[in-house]
Structures are given as structure tokens and as C-alpha cells.
Amino acid sequence: AQTVTQSQPEMSVQEAETVTLSCTYDTSESDYYLFWYKQPPSRQMILVIRQEAYKQQNATENRFSVNFQKAAKSFSLKISDSQLGDAAMYFCAYLSSGGSNYKLTFGKGTLLTVNP
Amino acid sequence: DGGITQSPKYLFRKEGQNVTLSCEQNLNHDAMYWYRQDPGQGLRLIYYSQIVNDFQKGDIAEGYSVSREKKESFPLTVTSAQKNPTAFYLCASSLLAGGPNEQYFGPGTRLTVT
């Protein structure tokens, strides 16, 4: 079974600075998908970014980018020019590419605080 | 606007009562999911459905039941057999089940059982 580990329960960053959230996962599969979701105080889960394991290029979405290291099974999220609205719980998630496993496996989350 | 709606936002029940949480989507997605979120636990899958009239158990299905009579609706019933029903419940949907289909989430329902 796949597992996802977020080793930083809490992180903080100054507004306008950069922060990196860590995520590692364990799998025996070669093809899969990785996601970062954001959950602000409203508790709505919002997809931030996704990465296909077969792609070597790291995904980027505006101020959000990932560092995907397949061999190391690492998938960190970098937030540049942090804004107050980035304050939220961030979840890393794993999804199999096929077979009968349709479950998103989530890490326990990292609570990000943005200081003005 | 396309999206997923869950109602109500807050729900209170007495112990021993069954309660049904609503989830509706107008995204024309085939697959729908129910997750439970507890503090410090992340999200755990309760049930999912790939198509109408079909559903499968997730990791923590005991004490829950679902139905999928319509493509756009996937209600979750929390039965009195569920030992710790107080939690935040999230419904999600995706175009199809499994990768690479992203799951989109509703706003959630906070259930409190006393």
C-alpha cells in the first residue's frame, strides 16, 4: 500500500518570501500522479498543482512549483513571493495511474502560517 | 457555475440516530467519493462510486452506507453503528475514477454527534 509522509506539521514564512513544504511517499508503482491540495480556514480543498510521474519536468503554476525527485520518492512544494492568502493547511496526495486503486492517499498535512 | 455542493454545512445529531449527508455535482463526472477528515489525520476514503448504481468500500466504510441512483448525487448515511461519527466529511468527484483524473472537492459538512 502507498503511504505519504509530510514531516513538517507546521511551517511559517514572512510575506513575500519563499517557503518549501516537504513530502515523501512510498510506492512500488512506476506510474502514478502526485498532487498538492490547499485547505484554507474555509476547509474547501483546492487543487494547487499536479505532477505526472512519467514527466521529468517539474510542474509549475504561477508562484507554486514542485521539486519532483522520483528516485528519492520526494515531492516538495515551493511557494514563492508568499501572500497572506497562502496561509492554509497543505496536503500532499498520491494517486495510482490505473488498476483498481482509485484512492487518493493523503499525507497528514502541513499548516502554513504567513506573517505580515 | 459547475461545482459540487454539500448540505448542510453543519449538522448536529443525537447518538443513536442515522443521518444522511448530501452531495450533488453538476460537473457531469462519472466518479464520486466520500472522505472523512479528523484533526491531524488527513483525509481517509469511506466509499467511492465509479458509475451509477455501483459503489465500492474505501478504507473506513464500517458504519456508513451510500447510494448512487443518479449520476449527479451520492448521499452518505452515517449509521448508529459508526462508533466515532463526529468529523468533517468531504465529497469529491472526478471525470472518471483513477489517475490521471483529478478529484474536485465540495465545501464539506461538519457533523457533530452528542
Q: What is the pLDDT of residues B51-72, one digit of tens each?
A: 999 999 998 999 999 999 999 9
Q: Which chain A residue lies closest to B100 (C-alpha atoms)?
A: A97
> What's residue B99's pLDDT?
61
The C-alpha of B38 sits at a distance from chain A's nearest C-alpha, in angstroms, of 10
Q: Exposure of B105 by Cβ count < 10 A (0-12 exposed, 13-18 middle, 19+ buried)?
A: buried
Question: pLDDT of A26-78, one tens digit each?
Answer: 998 888 999 999 999 989 999 999 999 999 899 999 999 999 999 999 999 99
Which of A45, A101, A105 is the best substitution to test chain B (most B C-beta atoms within 10 A)? A45
Q: Cell 519536468 sits at which residue?
A: A57
The C-alpha of A12 sits at a distance from chain B's nearest C-alpha, in angstroms, of 18
Q: Cell 513538517 sits at which residue?
A: A8
- Cα separation of A84 and A78, whole Å? 15
**Beta-carbon separation of B97 and A104 below 8 A:** no
Is residue B54 within 8 Å of B76, Cβ to Cβ?
A: no
Q: Which amino acid is at A7?
A: S
pLDDT for A1 beyond 80: no
> What's residue A25's pLDDT?
97
